[in-house]
């Protein structure tokens, strides 16, 4: 993610077919150390539409859920937060689980074209990361230093807790799990697998069978990738937006239907794919209380893990699926940086598709995901 490169990129959503595998070498660095985790609270109950809790908190949507798709809230007690998620196909206990992870500014609704079709052969879940969609948005300043809450380690903990407390709650269904992630959600997914592998230790039984990354963030503004002379200026500008009224003024200009539409039309190669339904799916959660603080905190996040540190450490296959027309995460950089790792199974290129292939080219992406799940599970 390059959140300071332009005003459009500041607000971009985290949120397309020939196969080519490159063997370009790519150097790796030691993975960033995981954050310290608090003790997990007892398992929490899941509530779906129809229950008293769900009727109070489950949002209305600007579209109809596909047949068989349910929506509800999960109480993540470790953080004392509510998390919105969707599920489909969960009655098929013998099928593997697929968990869909959105990117910056996205939410469950960015996967609305995928969850139903994928549920024909899998148990499928999508989740709003903490701070996004209709999940809770705790104020980052309550947690001390910037980026102490909204970072890839927190979201990795959230994903792993969700698997334990919701996806595999009853202990009888198939535990094979595949993550499918877009944009910065890819880093959260990679970190979730890395954290889980470290927690379990060598030789332990492992639930993750693979991870598919759709136009993953290159994190080009990570502190390690900034020119030394530029670092103080980048940090000063991030602080200026986060700590002064200018940031909230900027957000108020971005959180408008026309602005969101323009940003999406930059991200998507086909402007006709940017419907008013999509605009509402992205904009409406951004109008929730607390959203501006989350936005300003995360755009100042230049630390944490890098994909090129995590991909070679994966204990399971990695599938890269990349829209060729992505203006934010250039495919030529992704191919050079990532395709040479031994853990990368395929580098799939999607001609004529932009940054969010799961939405812009769902009819192409859904079979690719289903085939990957079938191959690795």
Helix (H, G, I), strand (E, B) or coil at 277: helix
Q: 31 pLDDT exceeds 50? A: no
Beta bridge partners of 348: 19, 321
| pLDDT in the model for residue 204 | 75
| pLDDT in the model for residue 57 | 66
| pLDDT in the model for residue 23 | 36
Q: Kindly report the CATH number that applies to the domain delimited by 7-27+41-376.
A: 3.40.50.1820
Burial 21-35 (b: 16+ CB within 10 A, else e): ebeeebeeeebbebb
Q: 203 pLDDT exceeds 80? A: no
CB 344 within 8 A of CB 320: yes
Burial environment of residue 142 by CB neighbours within 10 A (0 to 12, 13 to 18, 19 or more): exposed
> Regarding predicted confidence, which is higher, 54 or 72?
72
Q: 202 pLDDT exceeds 60? A: yes
Q: 40 pLDDT exceeds 90? A: no
What digits encode the pLDDT tens for the residues 281-318? 999 999 999 999 999 999 999 999 999 999 999 999 99
Q: How many angstroms separate the CA atoms of 208 and 313, rounded? A: 13
| Of the candidate ranges 36-50, 130-144, 189-203, 268-282, the one whose mean pLDDT is the lowest | 36-50
Average pLDDT over residues 275-282: 98
Q: 251 pLDDT exceeds 80? A: yes
> Regarding predicted confidence, which is higher, 229 or 42?
229
| pLDDT in the model for residue 343 | 98
Q: 48 pLDDT exceeds 70? A: no
Tell me the two tokens of residue 170.
């009853």
What digits encode the pLDDT tens for the residues 66-76? 999 999 999 99
Burial environment of residue 253 by CB neighbours within 10 A (0 to 12, 13 to 18, 19 or more): exposed
What digits encode the pLDDT tens for the residues 81-124? 999 999 999 999 999 999 999 999 999 999 999 999 999 999 99
The residues spanned by each domain of the chain are 7-27+41-376
Q: 372 pLDDT exceeds 90? A: yes
**Mean pLDDT, the chain, whole residue set:** 87
Q: In whole angstroms, what separates CA 128 from the centre of its chain?
A: 8
CB proximity list for 230: less than 8 A, separation 6 or greater: none
Helix axes 152-162, 185-200, angle to 10 degrees: 70
């Amino acid at each position: 993610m390059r959140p300071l490169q332009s005003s459009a990129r500041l607000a971009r959503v985290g949120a397309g077919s020939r196969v080519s595998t490159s063997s370009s070498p790519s150097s790796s660095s030691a993975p960033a150390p995981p954050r310290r985790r608090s003790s997990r609270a007892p398992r929490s109950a899941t509530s779906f539409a129809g229950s008293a809790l769900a009727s109070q908190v489950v949002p209305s949507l600007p579209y109809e859920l596909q047949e068989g798709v349910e929506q509800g809230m999960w109480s993540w007690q470790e953080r004392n937060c509510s998390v919105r998620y969707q599920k489909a196909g969960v009655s098929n206990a013998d099928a593997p689980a697929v968990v869909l992870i959105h990117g910056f500014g996205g939410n469950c609704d960015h996967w609305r074209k995928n969850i139903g079709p994928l549920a024909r052969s899998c148990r499928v879940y999508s989740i709003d990361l903490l701070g996004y969609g209709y999940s809770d948005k705790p104020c980052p300043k309550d947690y001390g230093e910037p980026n102490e809450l909204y970072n890839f380690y927190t979201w990795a903990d959230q994903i792993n807790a969700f698997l334990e407390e919701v996806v595999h709650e009853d202990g009888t269904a198939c535990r094979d799990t595949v993550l499918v992630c877009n944009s910065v959600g890819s880093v959260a997914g990679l970190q979730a697998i890395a954290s889980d592998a470290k927690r379990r230790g060598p030789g332990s039984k492992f639930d993750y069978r693979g991870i598919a990354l759709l136009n993953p963030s290159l994190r080009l503004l990570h502190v390690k990738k900034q020119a030394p002379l530029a670092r103080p200026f980048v940090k000063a500008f991030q602080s200026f937006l986060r700590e002064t009224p200018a940031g909230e003024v900027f957000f108020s200009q971005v959180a408008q239907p026309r602005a969101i539409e323009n940003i999406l039309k930059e991200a998507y190669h086909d402007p006709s794919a940017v419907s008013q339904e999509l605009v509402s799916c992205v904009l409406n959660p951004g109008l929730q209380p607390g959203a501006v603080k989350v936005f300003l905190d995360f755009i100042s996040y230049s630390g944490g893990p890098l994909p090129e540190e995590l991909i070679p450490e994966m204990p399971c296959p990695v599938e890269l699926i990349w829209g060729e027309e992505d203006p934010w995460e250039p495919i030529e950089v992704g191919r050079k940086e990532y395709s040479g790792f031994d853990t990368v199974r395929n580098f799939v290129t999607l001609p004529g598709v932009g940054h969010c292939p799961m939405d812009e080219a769902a009819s192409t992406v859904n079979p690719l995901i289903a085939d990957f799940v079938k191959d690795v599970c």
